[in-house]
Chains A and B, each alone.
Chain A
């Protein structure tokens, strides 16, 4: 049988979609100097809240909106902790992730515990049967709307320049009349909303249902992708595609007779090995945003 390369490419786009949302969401925060390790929990919250609201309203529009709101709130929590209170970003981020995952699991048990698994409405693929273009709407949104939009905002708008200025040199930005706190708050809230959209892709597009551990570490992959992409939009998107491609490739190779003798574990590790290798090469000597991990206080 011919190797189904088109199917692998189609799968690449699907696998990369939540990584693009999450990666760009993380990038926004980090460009202002705030590392949001709440990302794993924010993806999880987006997945769960999207599913929860879809199950109650049968409306994908309301469910998607609810996920966005949940993500914005998660971003606001992160902003409260790291910007307003100046808490250590690693601790605040991991705490946020733990809190959100546990809160979702707890609510899930209260509302959906026991009995049959609930299946909700979900997005249909557009261009069904269209080969590589047979994708969910949010995949088109990620690659054709979101990525160009974030790129344009960061590069060509005042808001984008303020964002970068705050990340590079908050003292200078402050002196120039830019509110460091407001800029970081905005970046974290918008970034959180994007992350949650990525999470809701798993429930509202891919599966139509929610299970524990549904995010399975995709948030951490996003954090690695942002470093791989050196805080630039298109390299982050490229990184997501690279990871998606190798993940899709290993899934296909695993059931291809010619590769029957290759250990399964090696194939499963392939996309992660690629990311580590890419980081080892591209991640050396990266220049972090000037105020990375540093809370801002007027002297």
Chain B
């Protein structure tokens, strides 16, 4: 495996002010640029990662700390630890030109079998590069369609656990109002919020769901304030599509549902459950196809569905400060079983939810 480290140039010590200024300015620039640092995983786990092992490169538009790309990175890391792939990655490719340059660089220097990433902010650029390198499998998070012969798309299709969490929320609310705080009304957020609302409608036809958008993927202080506003508006159960809401739920001692990973540890007495995205089935499907030579461009959406293990409702918290009715849990479990065996399909609705939705009214 090639090393990505670079040799550091020793800087001669000089006693002139200009040198110090230049150094400080340069370090600021270097550190800023380091956002897009190339990381290397202990891919393959062992030194036996031979030429037969599929090599995967992650190219992410956001820092890995962002939960969306974090979920993809976690799945790739897990698959690499099992020895099925070798995995390297680069993150924080915030602009389309950074993403494009990085993709060309990755292909020129590493030439991996598969590149996984998110294309939302750089859709045209990524597709253009994919067209030029038809022998590399491009597997990208995208709101668009697949592009033959090599560009596959996936997305966080969490409507199944969202629906189940909504059922729980509908059963838990006493005021009849549930507060949802989301990023912004884009399809991937809308379908989760709408499925959550539909679930609440099933267990509580009179429930009112208020939906706040903070117009940012990362502003937890504002998300918390939006949750406080929902509480002031009567909400007594919250859904944290964004970070920050759980803190509001804990302070006000209200049930809350988390997102992307099991967030129970953030408020062990108040997080009822979380919508969990598991990218492993998607990755494994791609790796298997590349391995036997059958890979072609496809929409990988269904690998994120609950029935395929791509998403789940985290284990329901049994140590909450409030009681969760046993029959409510039973209802949710029954519905989950129906989703798993295919007898129930969660409706997918990507329209923008109204700010204050009266469900079933």
Contact = CB atoms under 8 A, between A and B. Distances in A.
A73 interface: no
A228 to B, nearest CB: 21
A180 to B, nearest CB: 18
Interface centre among A14, A106, A119 (most CB of B within 10 A): A119
Interface string B248-281: 0001000000000101011100000000000000
A202 B225 CA distance: 12
A248 B20 contact: no
Interface string A85-107: 10100010001101101110110
Contacts of B185: 264
Interface stretch (B27-35, B110-118, B166-174, B188-196): B27-35
B353 to A, nearest CB: 10
28 contacts: A7-B232, A15-B225, A91-B25, A95-B28, A98-B31, A105-B65, A108-B65, A109-B65, A117-B263, A119-B266, A119-B267, A125-B251, A206-B220, A209-B220, A212-B66, A213-B218, A216-B216, A216-B221, A248-B225, A251-B225, A251-B229, A252-B233, A254-B212, A255-B210, A255-B230, A257-B358, A264-B185, A264-B355
B212 A255 contact: yes
Interface string B6-32: 000000000001001100110111011
A177 interface: no
Contacts of B31: 98-99, 102-103, 106
B232 to A, nearest CB: 3
B161 to A, nearest CB: 19
A77 to B, nearest CB: 8
A165 interface: no
A279 to B, nearest CB: 21
A259 interface: yes
Contact of B211 (A8, A96, A251, A255): A255
B103 interface: no
A113 B65 contact: yes
Nearest to A250: B229
B247 interface: yes
B5 to A, nearest CB: 16
A247 B225 contact: yes
B222 interface: yes
Interface residues of A, number: 52
Contacts of A125: 251
Nearest to B216: A216
B278 to A, nearest CB: 16
Interface string B286-330: 000000000000000000000000000000000000000000000
A260 B213 contact: no
Nearest to B30: A102
Nearest to B215: A268
Interface in B215-254: 215-216, 218-222, 224-226, 228-234, 243-244, 247, 251
B213 A99 contact: no
Contacts of B205: none
Interface residues of B, number: 54
A157 interface: no
Contact of B266 (A81, A99, A209, A260): A209
Contacts of A81: 21, 24
Contact of B35 (A105, A211, A252, A259): A105
Given A117-B263, A214-B220, A255-B212, 4 more contacts: A117-B243, A207-B224, A207-B247, A265-B215
A207 B261 CA distance: 18
Contacts of B247: 206-209
Contacts of A209: 220, 247, 266
A94 to B, nearest CB: 9
Contacts of A109: 63-65
A251 B221 contact: no
Contact of A252 (B17, B229, B265): B229
B221 A255 contact: no
A14 B244 CA distance: 14
Contacts of B356: 255-257, 260
A11 interface: yes
Interface in B329-359: 354-356, 358
A11 B225 contact: yes
Contacts of B233: 1, 4, 252, 255-256
A12 B24 CA distance: 39
A58 B28 CA distance: 31
Contacts of B234: 1
B179 interface: yes
> What are the nearest 9 A-B pairs in CB distance?
A7-B232, A102-B31, A213-B218, A255-B210, A4-B232, A99-B28, A95-B28, A251-B229, A216-B219
